[in-house]
A = this chain, B = another copy of it.
Amino acid sequence: MPVIRESLVQKLYKPGIGQELWDFANGIYPICRSISGNGVRETLGHIKQKIDLQIHEVPSGTQAFDWTIAPEWNIRDAWIKDPQGNKIIDFKKHNLHVLNYSAPINGKFQLADLKKHIFTMPDQPDLIPYRTSYYNINWGFCMSHDQLMSLPDGEYEAFIDSDHNPNGSLTYGEYFLQGESDEIFLFSAHCCHPSLANDNCSGMSVNTHLAQALTQLQGKTRYSYQFIFAPGTIGSITWLSRNEDKIKRIKNGLILSCVGDPGGPTYKRSQAGDAIVDRAVEKILRDEEAAPNIVDFWPYGYDERQYNSPAFRLNVGLLLRSRFGLFPEYHTSADNMEFLKPDALEKSYKHTLQIIDILENEYKTMNLAPHGEPNLGKRGLYGAIGGDKKAYDANLPVFWMLNQSDGQHSLLDIAQRAKLPYERIHDAAKVLSENNLLEVLND
């Protein structure tokens, strides 16, 4: 028989954890990640210091549904030297300077020819863009448009010491917590972007710390929890192709990405749009924040695209602060550690706990004294002097719980209808349950 569980936020949330979240992101920010290679391995190594991460290596050439795992990419150095032999850009100073997954090159080029391999952003001329070329092998560099414009004609030397190893592998990590039920909730963060703080380090940091916190309740949560750290697209498709049994158990999930900037919050709904995760996230964001931006699913973004594809429909939403693609720092060198804020990371972390709180307590309830209202006064649950215009506010969540507990409505249903913070409905349910006025129904 289920009972109203205690708040996970009360148990697991440590105010001030934002700095720890920021520090962890800062530790992995400098690493040059890609869809495969040592950068991913090094990143997962940081995570493994916090949780007992299972790390998988899947050989290049392996088939994953419609995809084939590409050769593993590694890079050691890259630069361009000007006609005078000065390094004008240097991979070691900023790894965005290299087209991610670039082929190696070592040669001399007239500026006009070199330019065909240089990517800039004319409308954000002082920033280095992030560019990739995974499925059409090319070599290239990225730099600020201002710098490109300042280059004199002449012969330049371009050097990229990288390789695509067909005997390499794709690397991803996962962590699983079995709960009382076999039903799984999925949390996933991508780990394939190089030095982009919000767009990958923030998500990995929150995902890691959330897994670490929930470990304290191992075996005592209602649901099982699956944490994934994988390269975007090919990583999640690979995970899906190797976990057919688990997939059947996943009913809901969240992608964590761009969860550390000062904007937002934003929630992109699952394809279903009204899954329990959608309702829970929307409720928490509306309870907690001034102007949450809740947007419908569209088939562009992060790995929610894969988890929500027709064969899976796992009801996975995307939690963000600013919406990806819309903040000016997105996919540029300005998405750095200064852009990341401890308090924004902390909010994201707290919200995920609050969302889990809803899920863990999502039961239908039954009023055990349903004939009219029960006499709350004799149980000390009602203000003593009646008639006061302002007295009733404190009693509202209790009255809502009593009125709506007919076996057809859950705590979240009731909180939504009552337009009251979920936390107050949860508290009322707990008090009524302790006074034998409320029963929680089995699933």
Residues of A within 8 A of B (CB): 65-68, 99-100, 119, 129-136, 138, 233, 236-237, 240-241, 271, 298-300, 305-306, 308-313, 325, 330-331, 367, 369-375, 377-378, 382, 384-389, 392, 395-396, 399-400, 402-406, 418
Shortest CB distance A299–B (Å): 4
- Can you name 28 A-B residue pairings with CB atoms under 8 Å? A65-B369, A66-B373, A131-B385, A131-B387, A132-B386, A133-B386, A135-B375, A135-B377, A136-B385, A237-B372, A240-B371, A241-B371, A299-B399, A299-B400, A300-B395, A300-B399, A305-B372, A306-B372, A306-B373, A309-B370, A309-B373, A309-B403, A310-B370, A311-B371, A312-B371, A313-B406, A331-B387, A331-B389
A135 to B400: give the CA distance in the assembly, Å: 21
A371 engages B66 (CB within 8 Å): yes
B300 engages A387 (CB within 8 Å): no
A389 engages B330 (CB within 8 Å): yes
With a cutoff of 8 Å between Cβ atoms, the chain B residues found around residue A378 in the complex are 135
With a cutoff of 8 Å between Cβ atoms, the chain B residues found around residue A374 in the complex are 66
A99 to B386: give the CA distance in the assembly, Å: 10
With a cutoff of 8 Å between Cβ atoms, the chain B residues found around residue A308 in the complex are 403
Shortest CB distance A193–B (Å): 9
| Majority DSSP secondary structure for residues of A touching B | loop
A1 to B395: give the CA distance in the assembly, Å: 50
Given contacts A132-B385, A132-B386, A134-B377, 15 further A-B contacts (CB under 8 A): A129-B387, A133-B384, A134-B386, A135-B377, A135-B382, A136-B377, A233-B372, A233-B373, A271-B403, A309-B370, A309-B373, A309-B403, A310-B367, A310-B370, A312-B371
Name the CB-closest residue of B to A142.
Answer: B387
Copies in the complex: 3
A132 to B391: give the CA distance in the assembly, Å: 12
A134 to B312: give the CA distance in the assembly, Å: 59
With a cutoff of 8 Å between Cβ atoms, the chain B residues found around residue A311 in the complex are 370-372
Name the CB-closest residue of B to A303.
Answer: B372
* Across the A-B interface, the 6 shortest Cβ-Cβ residue pairs: A135-B377, A299-B399, A310-B370, A311-B370, A65-B371, A310-B406
With a cutoff of 8 Å between Cβ atoms, the chain B residues found around residue A369 in the complex are 65-66
Shortest CB distance A114–B (Å): 16
A308 to B403: give the CA distance in the assembly, Å: 8
A150 to B300: give the CA distance in the assembly, Å: 71
A298 to B419: give the CA distance in the assembly, Å: 10
Name the CB-closest residue of B to A135.
Answer: B377
Name the CB-closest residue of B to A407.
Answer: B310
A392 to B402: give the CA distance in the assembly, Å: 50
Name the CB-closest residue of B to A300.
Answer: B392
Shortest CB distance A117–B (Å): 11
Name the CB-closest residue of B to A374.
Answer: B66
Shortest CB distance A166–B (Å): 16
B271 engages A371 (CB within 8 Å): no
Please pick, from B271, B375, B418, the residue contacting A298 in the complex, using a CB distance under 8 A. B418
Name the CB-closest residue of B to A67.
Answer: B375
With a cutoff of 8 Å between Cβ atoms, the chain B residues found around residue A313 in the complex are 406
B372 engages A402 (CB within 8 Å): no
A372 engages B66 (CB within 8 Å): yes
